[in-house]
Chain A
Amino acid sequence: DTEVTQTPKHLVMGMTNKKSLKCEQHMGHRAMYWYKQKAKKPPELMFVYSYEKLSINESVPSRFSPECPNSSLLNLHLHALQPEDSALYLCASSQALGLAYEQYFGPGTRLTVT
Chain B
Amino acid sequence: DAKTTQPTSMDCAEGRAANLPCNHSTISGNEYVYWYRQIHSQGPQYIIHGLKNNETNEMASLIITEDRKSSTLILPHATLRDTAVYYCIVASGSEKLVFGKGTKLTVNP
In the bound assembly, the distance between CA atoms of A104 and B98 in angstroms comes to 15
Within 8 A of B (CB), among A93-114: 94, 96-108
Judging by beta carbons under 8 Å apart, are B96 and A56 in contact? yes
Residues of A within 8 A of B (CB): 4, 31, 33, 42-45, 48, 50, 55-56, 90, 92, 94, 96-108
- What is the minimal beta-carbon distance from B88 to any residue of chain A, in angstroms? 11
- What is the minimal beta-carbon distance from B22 to any residue of chain A, in angstroms? 14
Residue of A nearest to B95 (CB): A97
Residue of A nearest to B102 (CB): A42
In the bound assembly, the distance between CA atoms of A24 and B32 in angstroms comes to 27
A-B contact count (CB 8 A): 63
Judging by beta carbons under 8 Å apart, are A31 and B95 in contact? yes
Instruction: Give which listed residue, A44, A90, A92, A97, contacts B93 with CB less than 8 A.
Output: A97
Report if B101 contacts A (CB, 8 A).
Answer: yes
Interface-lining segment among B11-19, B42-50, B60-68, B75-83: B42-50
Judging by beta carbons under 8 Å apart, are A103 and B93 in contact? no
In the bound assembly, the distance between CA atoms of A107 and B97 in angstroms comes to 18
A55-B46 CB under 8 A given contacts A42-B87, A42-B100: no
**Chain B contacts for A45, CB-based, 8 A:** 96-98
**Chain A contacts for B101, CB-based, 8 A:** 42
- What is the minimal beta-carbon distance from A37 to any residue of chain B, in angstroms? 9
